[in-house]
Amino acid sequence: KLEGYSTTQAALLEEGAAMVKPGGQLTYVTCSLLRQENEAQIEVFLKNNAGWKLLDYREGLSGNIPKTGASIPETLLLTPGQHGTDGFFVANLIKS
């Protein structure tokens, strides 16, 4: 099942990216703690799509900004153990 989800997520990320004009942003979000569905998707997307850049999730935020549990520091991973939430992953991308 995980392989199927990952394939679907990659396809949705590509489909969404195709609708973004230069200078536009795309936010990739999952309700997962798994690297395969989160950081790995972003790494592959950036490798295969020149002209896209990862934005820091802290950009534009103030106050009590949560520390990420993700292996990519610009992305946000919220975890039950660290944040007292369900698992959530967020990556903000911008098309140049």
Q: What positions carry a catalytic annotation?
A: 31
Distance of CA 58 to CAs 45, 49, 68, Å? 21, 23, 10
Per this entry, what is the length of the chain? 96
**SS3 category, 76:** strand
Nearest to 33 by CA among 74, 68, 73: 68
